[in-house]
Amino acid sequence: MTATATILESITVPEAEGRAIPDAATRDTIGYAPVHTVADLEAIIAAARAAQPAWNALGHAERARILHAIADDLEANSEELAAILSREQGKPLDGPNARFEVGACAAWTRNAADTVLEPEVVFEDGPARAEVHYDALGVVGAIGPWNWPMMISVWQIAPSLRMGNTVVVKPSSYTPLSVLALVEVFNRHLPDGVLTVVSGNREVGAVMASHPGLDKIMFTGSTEAGRRIVESSARNLARLTLELGGNDPGIVLPGADVSAIAENLFWGCFINTGQTCAALKRLYVHDSVYDEVVDALAGLAQAMPMGRGLDEGNLLGPLQNQSQFDIVRDLVDDARERGARIVTGGEPAGDLGPLFYRTTVVADIEDGARLVDEEQFGPAIPVIRYTDVEDAIRRANASEQGLGASVWASDTDAAVEVAKRLQAGTVWINQHGALNPAVPFGGTKQSGYGQEFGVAGLKAVAAPKVISR
């Protein structure tokens, strides 16, 4: 890479050697991603295993110093990284989108560097003492999604590097350029073999899950794909962290101040145009405030600018790929056919581009409709009326998934009591989807297992060792 070359130029390959990656909004080709094979994966894992002992030997302090230097470099290149992300994934530069995601990459990298993980004394009686120490696992395989490709990759990469592991990253085939760009900045500061991207197809990902050279698999994606990874990992007994699909419920309690919660409700549903695992996917609203909530969400949906991500001022973008567009369209059409009321949206926004779908609020809908029971992963929220809080809790818990949930109320003590009864890895009060790099995050039920972030996240990519004396 020359001094004047861009990051995008440094990560793309000639057309004859790669796979065309389209702009999510326009479908024009951004560039060509390398197409790695299983043979490439074998060589990459071998290099990662060879590099791991020396990387681990540097110690925590030196690895933390390097991670801080990487975070500085991410911030220095934030505009170009955000532009690549915006084009490939579709999310706008502004709002809680592309610039926000790149900033989160730097923040989570710094947190991984600064989080303290000391040996834990678990027993002490006179001269007898037992401590738990945390060592590197070896090589971590990180398989990421297309919705937050940079940020979620950092969730996997940064703690793994901090603990002395080397990492092999497999990005989604929809968004490889974003992850290649991220890793290019990381690798300005890392020894060869410590962090490598394998940009391949599903076959490459399947081989990763069962590869004997990987000691840990971290995966964010669908529940179906997570099950396949669990099955494959039985061959090598790799440790697993799985953050899988979610159908997150929200419950608005009677007496809620709708004007105070409306904007947080909206972004809980529609951040990243609804393409977020822990977005609010079904909203149960008490009859006393139902119409007010529906009207508030519809007003915000109609006012929120949607369009091409690189155009300043837009806050919502397209669906990232045709498959996801089809899912959203089909679920909304099914709701309409069942007699649900489409308050706003409910149709493609073809004037904006081929994969844009108007921000949609659906009212007068019940459990059993596909839009309620299935994860839409897009800009459509079903709003379900209830009259009894006990019934709302039961319906919220009826899903097989349990990633996140939220309770919305003026009485926060009452909200906490409801939150304690919801079956989810995280329950938010008067917000939804807000994450903190120091606070553990993970799912329950069929939304996966294992936790990320903070001390829990470091432990998840480490091998506990008990020393007794």
- The model's pLDDT over 184-193, given as tens digits with 9 standing for 90+, comes to 999 999 999 9
Catalytic residue, chosen from 88, 101, 269, 277, is 277
Cβ pair 268, 279 in contact under 8 A: yes
Cα separation of 417 and 67, whole Å?
40
Answering whether pTM is above 0.75, one says yes
125 and 263 both lie in a single domain = no
36 and 109 both lie in a single domain = yes
236 and 262 both lie in a single domain = no
| CATH number of domain containing 397 | 3.40.309.10
Task: Give the chain's residues under pLDDT 70.
Answer: 1-4
pLDDT in the model for residue 200: 87
pLDDT in the model for residue 3: 43
Cα separation of 57 and 66, whole Å?
14
pLDDT in the model for residue 201: 83
408 and 286 both lie in a single domain = yes
87 and 152 both lie in a single domain = yes
159 and 299 both lie in a single domain = no
243 noted as active-site residue:
yes
102 and 201 both lie in a single domain = yes
58 and 189 both lie in a single domain = yes
Per the structure, the complete domain to which residue 175 belongs is given by 7-244+447-468
43 and 61 both lie in a single domain = yes
161 and 257 both lie in a single domain = no
- What sign results for the dihedral spanned by CA atoms 435, 439, 443, 449? positive
Locate tokens 């110690």: which residue? Answer: 59
- The domain total for the chain is 2
CA distances (Å), origin 7, targets 4, 49, 68, 269, 422: 10, 27, 20, 33, 44
Percentage above 70 pLDDT, the chain: 99
452 and 395 both lie in a single domain = no
Domain-located, residue 111:
yes
Catalytic residue, chosen from 88, 184, 243, 452, is 243
Domain-located, residue 440:
no
Domain-located, residue 2:
no
| CATH number of domain containing 161 | 3.40.605.10
pLDDT in the model for residue 255: 96
329 and 351 both lie in a single domain = yes
